[in-house]
Amino acid sequence: EPEVTQTPSHQVTQMGQEVILRCVPISNHLYFYWYRQILGQKVEFLVSFYNNEISEKSEIFDDQFSVERPDGSNFTLKIRSTKLEDSAMYFCASSDGTGDEKLFFGSGTQLSVL
């Protein structure tokens, strides 16, 4: 069964550093998403991406965040200057765009900001 893959599974960084989280969505999917889950809190929507542009973003997704689909297979989330409160599990997801909103999620990248 096709799956969404995320790398790395765990990323440790110093506060103020830039990080890039990588995702390979399912190959024929058209919509891509990032969610995050801070320890002990709910899974939260960050951003959706379609046709090489952001479709929607949440209040969390401020100017320090950006997303990119640099080639036909990868989808990345960049955090420009990490803060302690960015420590969380980040989930990538994709969907086929048929409107049924069935998202396929990766297993996540645990980001630890020290």
Partner 1 sequence: AQSVTQLDSHVSVSEGTPVLLRCNYSSSYSPSLFWYVQHPNKGLQLLLKYTSAATLVKGINGFEAEFKKSETSFHLTKPSAHMSDAAEYFCVVSGGGSQGNLIFGKGTKLSVKP
Asked whether position 103 contacts partner 1 by CB under 8 A, the answer is yes
Q: How far is the CB of 18 from partner 1 (least distance, A)?
A: 25
Please state, in angstroms and as integers, the Cα–Cα distance from residue 42 to each residue in 35, 37, 38, 73, following that order.
10, 6, 7, 28
Could you count the other beta carbons within 10 Å of the beta carbon of residue 27? 9
Q: Which of 91, 109, 111, 113: binder of partner 1 (CB under 8 A)?
A: 91
Provide the mask over 9-38, with x wherever binding to partner 1 is found by CB under 8 A and - wherever it is not. ----------------------x-x-x---
**Composition of the chain by helix, strand, coil, percent to 5:** 5, 50, 45
- Shortest gap between Cβ of 101 and partner 1 (angstroms)? 6
Q: Which of 67, 79, 93, 113 lies at the binding interface for partner 1 (CB under 8 A)?
A: 93
**CA separation for the pair 82, 65 (Å, rounded):** 9
Contact residues for partner 1 (CB under 8 A)? 3-4, 31, 33, 35, 41-45, 48, 50, 55-56, 58, 91, 93, 95, 97, 99-108
